[in-house]
Structure 1
């Protein structure tokens, strides 16, 4: 499997491509990382250094890859946090070019906008860009419950309302919707869930909740789920493997006392995910 991953990069810590690339490589994927920023650290620290890479420069890198004749062999295009408006057009153009070269390729978009606790933390124009121009060309999207609500103009909370929202998102274009950080009011408060919906049905998986903010865990989740789904074609299998790997990563990080994901230390969790969480079919 060959993955073209267009995301941010940081020197210290693990978000964007600095979170997604290694786990993908560890499960056997060939990754072509294209950077949209090159920062010293993620912005959650409140201070950082380094450049935001211009859309024109990102486009040039992608053109160079295309000129090497690589696009026909790309199986997956993956994107995450978008720092500015122009990058969305660059990503959509790259997706169209890859799919023209390989009609079997898929595009997975993590529509990063914010979360229920912090609200939106991207530039004001980004949510509309994602909703109106990027998500409609995606095959897979991986929003959290908050982002799903924004994309669809709904307020998903219960299982039923989250399923309705996921169906509305699928009507926008993507055939597969993975909803992360699902917090139903009737769930065990010691747990958190992920829900996936595709043409074959809907499944939910429940894992223990850890009181820890792990920057980059969503990037790892989007990458692993997309790769497992592409490899198996089974949403439930991809969900179970991803939930197991990401939980073990977050638990290891939590127990370490470190702020940044212990990405390398958890590598066996990606290569050999434990069969510890069963996906329940809910439709």
Structure 2
């Protein structure tokens, strides 16, 4: 007997040599959630638990070739984008994804967990004008909201204003992550009409490297599995909350979330 193929999800992002974020976190998340993960590497980082020591972009023709190779033969049920580094890479990816008939989850990565820049300042306008309009869901944290829209979020009541500012840039849904606000973590999801708020327990654990990559990849995975956007976000939140609770120390700095927490709990 021939096994049936699982849903296919493509990540377009940067490689994290420490294995905590980026392509590595994306593929671990996809495996944990039962989809087949594929990758287009846009940049390579020298990165560990202490920070990002450097990064190198791949040539746009290499990124375009990877996209064509996967999309032309295997196909996708969802796409997730992460670190794209430069205007030309953002343009290249956005141009290709505009012709893809599958949901696109955009994690507008600007800086690493340690505060290291992962997006050239001149690429911000390209993300706004080219990438966000092709997004089904965009998942900014509060710093990325400010970078993209100028809206500063001081407390939970500002989340909707921030989400509306993101929606003005073209995505179908905005998921504004409020985890850096004081109090219980609250994320707000809206398409401009419907609004959903997702709360979770705040875990006293500093080992949270890869949280944003993991959440966006989990949303993409659940969309590929057939969930609608609110349900995909809810299930992704459950998964990432468990992964944060079991984040573990690695090296001398901030360790990663645990993508295998459900297996370890069995």
TM-score band, normalised by the shorter chain? 0.7 to 0.9
Q: Secondary structure at the match of 2:53?
A: coil
Change (3 A) 1:262 1:174: closer
Change (3 A) 1:59 1:163: same
Deviation at 1:171, TM superposition (A): 2.6
CA distance in 2, matches of 1:119, 1:80: 15
Deviation at 1:118, TM superposition (A): 4.2
The match for 2:9 among 3, 17, 27 is 3
CA distance in 2, matches of 1:116, 1:4: 23
CA distance in 2, matches of 1:157, 1:119: 23
1:90-239 equivalences in 2 (<5 Å): 90-99=92-101, 105-114=102-111, 118=115, 122-184=119-181, 187-188=182-183, 191-198=184-191, 199-212=193-206, 214-229=208-223, 231-235=226-230, 237-239=231-233
Kindly indicate whether the alpha-carbon contact (under 8 Å) linking 2:176 and 2:188 is maintained by their aligned counterparts in 1.
yes
CA distance in 1, matches of 2:145, 2:33: 28
Alignment partner, residue 55 of structure 1: 60
Gaps of 5+ in 2: 1-6
Note the alpha carbon deviations across 1:140-186, whole angstroms, 9 max, x for none. Answer: 100002212332222122333210220221232112111124444xx
For normalisation by structure 1, the TM-score amounts to 0.78
Alignment partner, residue 80 of structure 1: 82
- Extract structure 1 runs of 4+ deviating beyond 4 A: 115-121
Q: Secondary structure at the match of 1:208?
A: coil
For normalisation by structure 2, the TM-score amounts to 0.82
CA distance in 2, matches of 1:204, 1:152: 22
Higher relative contact order (CA 8 A, sep 6+): 2
Alignment partner, residue 237 of structure 2: 243
CA distance in 2, matches of 1:264, 1:243: 13
Q: Secondary structure at the match of 1:218?
A: helix
Deviation at 1:110, TM superposition (A): 0.6
